[in-house]
Structure 1
Amino acid sequence: MADKSQSGTLENDEFVLFYKMLTQREDVLKVFQEYSDGQKLSQSNLEDFLREEQLEGGDIQLHAKQLIECYEPSDKGRMNAMTFDGFLMYLGSAEGSIFNPQRRGIFQDMTQPLCHYFISSSHNTYLMEDQLRGQSSVEGYIRALNRGCRCVEVDCWDGANGEPIVYHGHTFTSKILFKDVVSAVGNYAFKVSQYPVILSIENHCSVEQQRVMAHHLNHILGDRLLKTILDGKTPIRLPSPEKSKQRLSKELSDCVVYCKSVHFTSFKHSRIHSKFYEVASFTESKARKHLREAGAEFVHHNSRQLSRVYPSGFRTDSSNFNPQEMWNAGCQIVALNFQTAGEGMDVNDGLFSQNGCCGYVLKPSFMREADIRFDPEMPQKRDDYHPVVLTIQVISGQQLPKVNIKEDSIVDPLVRVEVHGVPMDQAKQETRYIENNGFNPMWYDTLHFTIHTPELAMVRFVVEDYDKTSKNDFVGQYTLPLSCMQQGTFKNAERISFFFKLCLHSNQQDGEEDRTS
């Protein structure tokens, strides 16, 4: 159609025509025409769009002017209006993203005790594959640290020639040198985040090789290794992630100075006897049992001390549990197999995509204060209980990839929206599927969710290729905290490239006025 000259090639204007045909957006054009004169959006028109569709407040006049100056490609248009091309560029930019740009960088208080943060954490970090025969590699540490992980695990055993080794003991996983792990941690610990790294060591070494471990830690890390109590003062609580005036790393020494591993007896025993610097570890099944039987006590325990949760030993395939249920209890160090993609890592990546991807996310205030008893099983008992209604209209998708290797394969896409949070908030809804259209499917389907604890809720968007006779094929996903979502129309869920309309408002309770949140 674009080859007007019928030469078999696209020349000059023909290529421009081809590009416009390829990127034509009927969904965006529909909104553009609604607010414009058909040719351009005046600044006043754009202000109306920002106010009515994007639900923006503040100085809308200034923001509209800035958007025109930033995204309008035409010099003439930049005077006081935005053409369709500029409108399309704006909606596809970071400002048009579902993720609130104000929550991209570090915006949280970073001066609170470590136990007040969720900490991005890895399990058996050295493994690249399964738990029985998988390859061990320092690359596992490099990848985890480059994803903002702030707690990595090292299983240490006696090795040949007096050199400690790292591997999954009593299995057929390959072995790497402890000193190589320490070097990798030293080189990559602060490439992505300036905040402390906790080195969780499972030590099976003899006294002689423990001395070698200490030598490597001191020799390789040098003054980046924290060896003494901060400021030389007797500590009364865990330190915060913030050491802005000191060039110190906390790889292993957090576990020695501030994170002494102890056996967990009971919440009552911990309340009476435990010290603030002690940390207890739980398998996922034990943590789940405590959460089920004494959820409020678990949350209260974690307002004072660190807890670490790790995958069950039965997960020999390196699969993951969903970390959300452990965050619901306030557990800070929820260790996952970073090498295994799937729902668990999607939710983990989503939580830690905020706050500068620094690996630390401040817990909600009701999980940090000792005089509050928050029970994730009964969130409606909170004094400040305010559920919200999340309304999402899934509008369209663009250029979704084929997932079947057959040459003539075309996807039948559907979008599933999942809410991960406290048990009352766990929910899934999906659109209808669009038959044989992965290029520009359009749904205009609306989904509604009531969310009782919005501070803990994660929202996951999944695109699948519908199949009548077998399991749907995965196409893509995007996950982020509810608290980081922008309201409005045409919010781009980045990695899977579809647009939707989002509205969030308080659910009317006890005669209160309905209001925008």
Structure 2
Amino acid sequence: MASVIQDRLTTDQDLLQMQEGMLMRKVRSKSWKKLRYFRLQKDGMTVWHARQAGGNEKPSFSISDVEMVRKGHDSELLRSLAEEFPLEQGFTVVFHGRRSNLDLVANSVEEAQTWMQGLQLLVDLVTSMDQQEWLDQWLKDWFQRGDKNQDGRMSFTEIQRLLHLMNMEMDHEYAFHLFQAADISQTGTLEREEFVHFYKSLTKRKEIRKLFENFSADGKKLTLLEFVDFLQGEQKEKDYAPGCALEFINRCEPSDSGKLRHVLSMDGFLSYLCSKDGDIFNPVCLPVYQDMTQPLSHYFINSSHNTYLVGDQLCGQSSVEGYIRALKRGCRCVEVDVWDGPNGEPIVYHGHTLTSRIPFKDVVTAVAQYAFQTSDYPLILSLENHCSWEQQQTLAQHLTEILGEQLLSAPLEGLLPTQLPSPEQLRGKILLKGKKLETCEPDVEEEDKEEEPECDLEPLQGTQVESEPELQEQEPFLRIKGKKKKLKPILCPALSALVSLKSVPFHSFSHSKEHYRFYETSSFSESKARNLIKEAGNEFVQHNTWQLSRVYPSGLRTDSSNYNPQELWNAGCQMVAMNMQTAGLEMDICDGFFRQNGVCGYVLKPDFLRDAQTFFHPERPISPYKAQILTIQVISGQQLPKVNNTKEKSIVDPLVKVEVFGIPADTARQETSYVENNGFNPYWGQTLSFRVLVPELAMLRFVVKDYDWKSRNDFIGQFTLPWTCMQQGYRHIHLLSRDGTSLHPASIFVHISIREEPETES
């Protein structure tokens, strides 16, 4: 594929013009618009920029970081500048993860088309690369970085500098020996192919060679039967080994003669171990593989909190981009806080704060466009309605006109008499969750029983009380300083008629069972939900077998930090809403959990969380099965990146921490010792062991850190996955960045073993 890119670079007219460079306007806001000279580098993989043509260039972005290219019409920022620049001349570069978009305006429609078409072509080529093609491109990138004078050759001095950049400290004499062996042309320098030879000498993996020789009779190849023995004995592929072995050989063996003879060479064996088949994440769990015909209440649902925010919840930016990003990552429940806006048009923002505002109409338009691009299973719009009667009518009009047939119009109680429909039945449908009238006339008899505390609620300046979302679930109040007067709700019937999932206040589990219906749903603050788990964990689990629960982060999390969703999932709570714009451990757990089942946003709960008569208590579980013992041998690491720019002159001292998250009794952490001055090919060879009672609810997180005795260890990379999606045997774990993007080719090599805990003698 790398050669395909090179061919296109010399023949494709768009790419040829991009390599010459173009002056474009970089736009960050309405007030920040500056001219920059952008140029595609000769590697076809990176774009650099300068203040002017011929100026000092700096890296701008890598093609591998680009998710897609959008037209100017689809950019919220460029649309706001439509009077200054024609939208046809603008385009947006959208990156993976949480990196901000890059909005650019070219000098002509033709130049914009050149960059849009060229970038999309390169993105498509990079996306289709296989493991070997990625490695080839990665080596080419390193060669260019190491070739300081850009003469197509590398001296030994440049090689030494490169080794330092690659996170490796090597004995001078040994490095020079490898350099001389690779210098086939005997010029005292290495050309690109000679550099590849040098790299292969550097990356000879003794642990893989030893493993290969343990199963190979002659130490040169694995026969089909020997490979089957390895797959059955070590990889626990007992049911599929004979059929898989030949398929893996055809896929991973580089030589045609090896494929014909049905044997696997050392290179083919390494290729298998580094492929998706050798990954720790079971490929069976990657597509939609679960039963999608059960009631919605039987699934965990990927849910977002304050979806409109791309920053903190006090003065951060509100943006349609928040909805686009959440939907594209498989989120199936998004939140819309809507208030009265100017000119009769409702606006979306975080009430009583300094966050920016966006038109409700723009949010609904984005939802209509992106709702089902990643998943075609139902999307829930959680509507927090603060609008007047008149603007509620506008809400209803926009929802109806823009969403059209996507919006579920038939009442849920008309579809099934006793339980929620399934994700399968609701494919391609958007469900509105919010307040709903019993009849056309406002009915407040039930709500009037609920006493609200007296409070001084003048419009809050940059602060939100934790109970505010709970108050939002009640009827509107007229708030007067020092006292309050309760009014009947002024909910517009037109908007009420669109609501499929009725929001109701929570009183008690017995009250819900007696008075509420299956299509009614309650919201809980994180502290309220935690208290209920402690006080009535089993009742909470039973409640969540038939009715949807939504949990939201504390209003005191002004930095938009997150809670750990695991403890809420343990009680069967379906919609555990997360601040998706905030990276960290909690989002790693959420992303890792919903990576399974086709990233469709729905994960079927274990059977003991779906049984209405279940005895399961998340704090005191009684498992009918024996505990399982997980043994993890952390063997080695490969090409770990240097992530702290302030330590540019240093080489990382990596260690691996393994974390198990599940019920409280199963939650544990262990770590290896650190390897000094080697991020290139560190070897640990250490074994960690965990005892797990409820594996169906367990998540594993592998974290690689740079040891620092003076301060907190620096984060290098992580990978998180459900226990139920983990493969046993010798596996590679391909690391992700803090933002969840690939750190290819960085990985760690482990051996995974799971066994039942042996019975103790009485």
**What range describes the TM-score normalised by the shorter chain of this pair?**
over 0.9
Q: Give the alignment partner of residue 750 of structure 2, picking from 478, 500, 505.
A: 500
Helix, strand or coil for the counterpart of 1:111?
coil
Q: Give the alignment partner of residue 421 of structure 1, picking from 650, 662, 676.
A: 662
- CA shift for structure 1 position 489: 1.3
Residue 515 of structure 1: aligned partner? none
For 1:39-438, list aligned pairs within 5 A.
39-78=220-259, 79-229=261-411, 232-233=414-415, 235-243=417-425, 248-250=429-431, 257-379=499-621, 381-382=622-623, 384-405=624-645, 406-438=647-679
Relative distance call for 1:26 and 1:124 in structure 2 (3 A) is: same
* 1-structure distance, mates of 2:730, 2:406: 47
Q: Which letter does structure 1 place at the counterpart of 2:401?
A: H
TM, length-normalised to structure 1? 0.95
Q: Which moved more, 1:440-449 or 1:12-21?
A: 12-21
Relative distance call for 1:316 and 1:31 in structure 2 (3 A) is: same
The answer to whether the Cα contact below 8 Å between 2:203 and 2:681 also exists between their aligned partners in 1 is: no
Larger Rg, first or second structure (1 or 2) = 2
* 2-structure distance, mates of 1:479, 1:13: 36
Q: Which letter does structure 1 place at the counterpart of 2:342?
A: A
Helix, strand or coil for the counterpart of 2:542?
helix
Helix, strand or coil for the counterpart of 2:264?
strand
The answer to whether the Cα contact below 8 Å between 1:225 and 1:252 also exists between their aligned partners in 2 is: no
Gaps of 5+ in 1: 513-517
Q: Which letter does structure 1 place at the counterpart of 2:667?
A: Q
Q: Which moved more, 1:234-243 or 1:307-316?
A: 234-243
The answer to whether the Cα contact below 8 Å between 1:154 and 1:199 also exists between their aligned partners in 2 is: yes
Relative distance call for 1:474 and 1:494 in structure 2 (3 A) is: closer
- CA shift for structure 1 position 254: 11
Relative distance call for 1:291 and 1:233 in structure 2 (3 A) is: closer
The answer to whether the Cα contact below 8 Å between 2:381 and 2:433 also exists between their aligned partners in 1 is: yes
Q: Which letter does structure 2 place at the counterpart of 1:497?
A: S
Residue 5 of structure 1: aligned partner? 185
Deviation by residue 1:297-318 (Cα, 9 ceiling, x = unmatched): 1111111111110000110000
Q: Which moved more, 1:247-256 or 1:142-151?
A: 247-256
The answer to whether the Cα contact below 8 Å between 1:491 and 1:502 also exists between their aligned partners in 2 is: no
Q: Which letter does structure 1 place at the counterpart of 2:523?
A: S
Residue 14 of structure 2: aligned partner? none
* 2-structure distance, mates of 1:409, 1:59: 46
The answer to whether the Cα contact below 8 Å between 1:351 and 1:458 also exists between their aligned partners in 2 is: yes
Q: Matched residue pairs, number?
A: 509
- CA shift for structure 1 position 234: 5.7
Residue 681 of structure 2: aligned partner? 440
Helix, strand or coil for the counterpart of 2:256?
coil
* 1-structure distance, mates of 2:416, 2:247: 52
| Superposed CA RMSD | 1.9
- CA shift for structure 1 position 65: 1.8
Q: Which moved more, 1:229-238 or 1:119-128?
A: 229-238
Q: Which letter does structure 1 place at the counterpart of 2:754?
A: L
Deviation by residue 1:242-292 (Cα, 9 ceiling, x = unmatched): 137x75333559995542111111112122222111111111011111111
* 1-structure distance, mates of 2:317, 2:518: 37
TM, length-normalised to structure 2? 0.65
Relative distance call for 1:398 and 1:251 in structure 2 (3 A) is: farther
Relative distance call for 1:129 and 1:144 in structure 2 (3 A) is: same
Deviation by residue 1:384-420 (Cα, 9 ceiling, x = unmatched): 2332111100011011111221331211111110000
Relative distance call for 1:389 and 1:174 in structure 2 (3 A) is: same
* 1-structure distance, mates of 2:428, 2:553: 33
- Post-superposition, which runs of at least 4 consecutive aligned residues in structure 1 deviate over 6 A? none
The answer to whether the Cα contact below 8 Å between 2:717 and 2:735 also exists between their aligned partners in 1 is: no
Deviation by residue 1:69-89 (Cα, 9 ceiling, x = unmatched): 211111111122111111111
* 1-structure distance, mates of 2:267, 2:411: 58
Helix, strand or coil for the counterpart of 2:506?
coil
The answer to whether the Cα contact below 8 Å between 1:91 and 1:492 also exists between their aligned partners in 2 is: no
Relative distance call for 1:167 and 1:233 in structure 2 (3 A) is: closer
Helix, strand or coil for the counterpart of 1:99?
coil
Helix, strand or coil for the counterpart of 1:265?
coil
* 2-structure distance, mates of 1:44, 1:236: 55
Relative distance call for 1:213 and 1:9 in structure 2 (3 A) is: farther
* 1-structure distance, mates of 2:703, 2:432: 36
The answer to whether the Cα contact below 8 Å between 1:199 and 1:254 also exists between their aligned partners in 2 is: no
Q: Give the alignment partner of residue 471 of structure 1, picking from 707, 712, 728.
A: 712
* 2-structure distance, mates of 1:332, 1:365: 14
* 1-structure distance, mates of 2:634, 2:328: 33
Deviation by residue 1:457-489 (Cα, 9 ceiling, x = unmatched): 000111111111111111111000000000111
* 2-structure distance, mates of 1:294, 1:8: 75
Q: Which letter does structure 1 place at the counterpart of 2:315?
A: R
Deviation by residue 1:324-362 (Cα, 9 ceiling, x = unmatched): 010011100000000000011100011101111100001
Relative distance call for 1:197 and 1:13 in structure 2 (3 A) is: closer
Deviation by residue 1:410-435 (Cα, 9 ceiling, x = unmatched): 11111110000001001000011111
Helix, strand or coil for the counterpart of 2:749?
strand
Q: Which moved more, 1:466-475 or 1:484-493?
A: 484-493
Q: Which moved more, 1:234-243 or 1:168-177?
A: 234-243
* 1-structure distance, mates of 2:414, 2:245: 53
